[in-house]
Chain A
Amino acid sequence: MTLSKVPSAAREAAAKLDAPRRDALAELLLTMADDEFVGGFMDSEWTGIAPILEEDVAMSSIAQDELGHAKALYELLAEVLDDGRDADAIAYDREPEAYRHARLLDLPRGDWADTIARRFLYELADEARLASIGTGYGPLADLVAKLRREERYHRMHVVAWVERLANGGRIARGRLEAALAVAAAVAPTVFTRLDGEPELLRAGILSRPLAAADAAWRVDLTRILVPLELALPPTIEHGPEGRAGHSDAFRWLWREFTSVRRSEVGAAW
């Protein structure tokens, strides 16, 4: 499907960017959108089977929010790229290796503790990343302000669960600690340095390097994990592989989520 060429603020703003700047912006948008997209897919799998009915509805809302964020980011990206692809084409019509989500989001859904651990580390990381978006590209700054309003609830929800599991007796705490250990090892991949990062900083699209967001994230984590006597994530330097070389869990997910679309390529759904 092609986009209608209505003039939009985002497209006009993007047209004013020179090529390196536009490429850097596209890379940032793609990594953010893919993170929300893949994470939202994993979380949406809880719909219908969460531990209690009320929680089921809550987790599903969060998954929908994340997918909504992915959709908004892909739409922005479609306008920046302006290459005839719409948000769905960008989201679905790529080979698995072309997805740029962080390794943290590659983890399988796992049990409730795995999901809470991954979500907790990701939510706080995403918050630190969103706080690093500057005003250099107006449409993104505007969108981020909206995303941050929705993320408040996600944070409250996941922190409530981390506290409950941490204080919930031997079994729950054991599961949470094991899940956090696995997720924490790859959690810093959310801050994997981008190729276009120097350009993004020059343009004020990023207000600080992602490494600084990583540091802010650790301060935030410390405030929550230390009182609960839980371990902080290790400091690991991730190269570009932090957003590449995806897991079997993701390749399974990819086969599933593209199956209907691939059955009739180019059709409207």
Chain B
Amino acid sequence: MTDPLALDPVLPVRERSERPWNLDLPHDERFAHFEAHVTAGGKIEATDWMPDEYRTAVLRFVEMHANSELMGVLPEREWIMRAPTLRRKLALTAKVQDEVGHAQLLYRVAEDLGKPREAMLEDLLAGKTKFHNVFHYPTRSWGDIGIIAWLVDAAAIVAQQALRDSSYAPYARTMQKICWEESVHIMHGRDVVVTLVSGTASQRALVQEALDRWWGPLMQMHGPRSDRSKDRDLHWRIKAKTSEELRQEFLTIYVPRIRELGLLIPDPDLRFDETAGEWRYTEPDWDELRSVVTGHGPKSQDRLEFRRLNRDETRWVRDTILAAPAVAA
């Protein structure tokens, strides 16, 4: 076989590929090629050259997503024990398991961008990095389990589907797998909700009460409207849609499905404006969102403390398997 190095001098440097990871180009030119490649819909792999601006932006985005999956485990986990039938118990365990699996997949994507998992977990537990607003609230009843699995997951999947085309290819591939698994969660959640609204009066009340509490956080979940031209994550095509686009999409699909069940959405101003072609709604409480995601939600500190304790309690296991891969493979 020809030594690949022997091929190297065949072409003069400047005529070689203009792909941005051509390491012979000066930084500014590489940056320009990279930007052109990405904004034109090109994909980036973990081993490709990338400017620090891009690496940092992808890492921040994926890390928060991973944190959210990990923290999102806790509100539902408490109810695995209380699931009222064998099938529900299996489905809820499998759903929470998937979220742990998603955290694993996403932390792996983030790790390959250069930040070790341990460092990400430390930052999360120290309150230095964030997780989604919806995971800062308590789960009060079995009705919450239905509403979370159906509507919180639906709001999430609307955002996640738009990430399957992310310019960062390992993230895009991971989102394909995650979206596939999430679609099962929505079915599970919807089935729980439909069963409860078809049940006794108090079962139905459980769902309505849960919806009343979760609607605010759901409307805040995608974040305030932002200026498309100033959004760096959109520019780098890490994500594809603005907050408002995602919220509109969520409302378009789910408002009719919620009303179909005779449930009342707790927003008197919610309506579809035919002329503007979009949903109108009461302005979500953005102060609440800011306060919640910076660690001041009703369950923020409890959940972080629970994770810190759990990490301390299981540290000896990690130390053990890292110190001694002693068993013959």
Number of interface residues of B (CB under 8 A): 47
Please list 15 pairs of residues, one from A and one from B, whose beta carbons are closer than 8 Å in the complex, sorted by A's number: A44-B81, A45-B81, A47-B77, A50-B314, A51-B318, A57-B104, A64-B93, A87-B86, A91-B86, A112-B314, A168-B324, A171-B316, A171-B320, A172-B317, A267-B203
Contacts of B317 in A (CB 8 A): 51-52, 112, 172
Residue of A nearest to B71 (CB): A48
Shortest CB-to-CB span from A163 to chain B, Å, is 5
B85 within 8 A of A: yes
Contacts of B310 in A (CB 8 A): 49
Q: Report whether B97 and A175 are in contact in the complex, using a CB–CB cutoff of 8 Å.
A: no
Binary interface encoding of chain A residues 34-64 relative to chain B, with 1 for a CB under 8 A from any of its CBs, else 0 = 0000000100110111111110110011011
CA–CA, A257 to B326, complex, Å? 40
A67 within 8 A of B: yes
Q: Report whether B83 and A260 are in contact in the complex, using a CB–CB cutoff of 8 Å.
A: yes
Number of interface residues of A (CB under 8 A): 49
Q: Report whether B142 and A167 are in contact in the complex, using a CB–CB cutoff of 8 Å.
A: no
Chain B interface helix/strand/loop/mixed:
helix
Contacts of B326 in A (CB 8 A): 164, 167-168
Contact of B81 among A70, A92, A168, A253 (CB under 8 A): A253
- Give B69-91 interface residues, CB cut-off 8 Å to A: 70, 73-74, 77, 80-90
Binary interface encoding of chain B residues 54-76 relative to chain A, with 1 for a CB under 8 A from any of its CBs, else 0 = 00000000000000001001100
Contacts of A256 in B (CB 8 A): 81-82
Q: Report whether A169 and B81 are in contact in the complex, using a CB–CB cutoff of 8 Å.
A: no
Contacts of B81 in A (CB 8 A): 41, 44-45, 253, 256-257
Contacts of A142 in B (CB 8 A): none
Q: Report whether B200 and A51 are in contact in the complex, using a CB–CB cutoff of 8 Å.
A: no
Q: A48, A91, A92 — which one has the most chain B CB atoms within 10 A of its CB?
A: A48
Residue of A nearest to B327 (CB): A163
B50 within 8 A of A: no
Known: A267-B203, A269-B84, A269-B88. Is A47-B320 also a contact (CB below 8 A)?
A: no
